[in-house]
Amino acid sequence: MLRLLLVGAILLVGLTGAVFSRFAGLLLYIWFAIFRPQEWLWTDVSDMRASLVIGVLFVLPTFFGGTMPNLSHRLSRATLLFVGVALLSQMTAVNPTLAWITLDQFLRLVIVCLLAISVIDTRERAFIALLVIACSFGFHSAKSGLVFFARGGGMLYEGIGGAFADNNGFATGTAMIIPLLVAVGQNSTRRAIRIGFYFAAALSVVTIIGTFSRGGLLGLIVSAGAFVLLQRRRMWAIASLALLLAAAAIVLPVSDAYVDRVRSISTTETDNSSLGRLHFWRVAIQMAEDRAFGIGPGNYEAVYDRYDTTNGEFGRGRAVHSSVFQVLAEMGFLGLAAYLLVLALALHTAWKIRRRGLDPGRSEDERRYLFSLGNGLLASLVAFLIAGSFVSLALNDVTWMLIALLASLDRLTAEPVPVHEPVPVPVRDGVPVPVRDAVPVPAPAGVRTVRPLPSGGALDIFAPAAKPLRRLDSQS
């Protein structure tokens, strides 16, 4: 009952806000799509069609208000290219009805993402959107970590529903959300809130271990390594990470079964699960070779038995267990090329945002903001690339919303926010002249005084970015 009341209160406030603010409608959509309250509640509320209501309440007023989907950014155009290829694969789908169900859901997500690029029109809004994404998923990942501790170990078999329903999908989403939790923590000015986000990130690491997902663990390791190497003071960050790992090794209730499963990563020849994945990937290649535009979105499991040459050795109606091979099988080689283009552009955009955080021509607050968010988004994408290679999550909400957020941040931070430096007090005959009596003297063209980049640990792995949201909206 308490859960129902909490969700009802959030929906009431969110729907009311969505009537007056397109940004509030977007935040409500993000929360509902990622948090998935219908899966969290003990009561069946599917008949309410809340997802459809929220989507309509955001999209239609946005269109009628004159805000159109952003098609000017290169990520927008690459996304449209991928959508076009997906529509071609729909035309040649083995099961057109199943393909359209999958494509319909994805098209609605794309419309929201393209509108989000336009609606997120200030840097503060970009941070709030990232905050909602991190909290919506981070709530579940942190809670599962607590459950793992409370049970003294064991295995977490289920996720939060939707694309992240099983343990492997949940581990992948958790690996993606951990860098975002840290980035939000770095931009929190209150110490208690900052520590809370760091603690949620630590519990999320425990969740990945609890899922027994080897792909999720690989994604965590690689993204954590990338996140550490992206820091300015790498040795300090590496030492901090090593200390955390040592503490985790002592505290975590890791079973022998989990250790054996991790060791099986290097024994592909004898591990049946790994052999099955290799077989599923070969089947995906055969499907792409057989149909130029793929077998159609969402068709892999339905068509698998036709291409299975092992006569069901690895089961019937199996999933492809890879986002890359999912796109290859269902949308062909052209679809795979468009999908990889989107991911490559997203990585490059995150890198550009990070680099802007090192620009001495920007204010200290702006540098900290861009550096921390760029690092978090970049590490999150790396986590998806690695962990997503072992689970079918090509069309999941979190990845595409992060891509939209990257496009918004790139658009908003292309030019630095003007720095308002204090006006020097003029002196006449050794006596300070009141500002009201002083004649302003323009600074030489091209000369601009900025504060130096701090030499301390403000840009390091767990260091806060002091007052990150000051003057973020001054350009709008």
- For residue range 338-369, what is the model confidence (pLDDT) as tens digits? 999 999 999 999 999 999 999 998 989 999 99
pLDDT at 238: 81
Q: Are residues 384 and 239 in the same domain?
A: yes
Domain that holds residue 233: 71-415+457-476
Q: Are residues 236 and 218 in the same domain?
A: yes
The residue out of 49, 67, 85 marking a domain boundary is 67
* 310-314: long-range pairs with CB below 8 Å, 24+: 310/279, 313/279, 314/272, 314/275, 314/276, 314/279, 314/280
Averaged over 159-181, what is the pLDDT?
92
Q: Are residues 102 and 44 in the same domain?
A: no
Q: Are residues 63 and 80 in the same domain?
A: no
Q: Does 239 score more than 60 pLDDT?
A: yes
Overall domain count for the chain:
2
pLDDT at 421: 52
- Backbone torsion region of residue 317, taken as left when φ is above 0, otherwise alpha when ψ lies between -120 and 50, otherwise beta: left
Residue 7 lies in a domain: yes
Residue 286 lies in a domain: yes
Residue 451 lies in a domain: no
pLDDT at 194: 94
Cβ 76 vs Cβ 68: under 8 Å: no
pLDDT at 267: 62
Q: Does 410 score more than 70 pLDDT?
A: yes
Residue 442 lies in a domain: no
Q: Are residues 53 and 143 in the same domain?
A: no
Q: Are residues 40 and 173 in the same domain?
A: no
pLDDT at 236: 78
pLDDT at 450: 40
Q: Does 454 score more than 50 pLDDT?
A: no
The residue out of 13, 37, 67 marking a domain boundary is 67
Residue 354 lies in a domain: yes
453: pLDDT confidence band, cut at 50, 70 and 90?
very low
Residue 375 lies in a domain: yes
Q: Does 331 score more than 60 pLDDT?
A: yes
Q: Are residues 133 and 53 in the same domain?
A: no
Q: Does 449 score more than 50 pLDDT?
A: no
Q: Are residues 89 and 39 in the same domain?
A: no
Q: Which of 163-167, 180-184, 234-238, 445-449 has the highest mean pLDDT?
A: 180-184
Residue 247 lies in a domain: yes
Report the C-alpha gap between 121 and 423 in whole angstroms: 30
Averaged over 202-216, what is the pLDDT?
91
Residue 428 lies in a domain: no
Q: Does 164 score more than 70 pLDDT?
A: yes
pLDDT at 183: 95
Averaged over 212-227, what is the pLDDT?
93
Q: Are residues 176 and 46 in the same domain?
A: no
The residue out of 21, 43, 67 marking a domain boundary is 67
Q: Are residues 188 and 110 in the same domain?
A: yes
Q: Does 459 score more than 50 pLDDT?
A: no
Q: Are residues 51 and 113 in the same domain?
A: no
Q: Are residues 49 and 79 in the same domain?
A: no
pLDDT at 396: 95
Q: Does 399 score more than 90 pLDDT?
A: yes
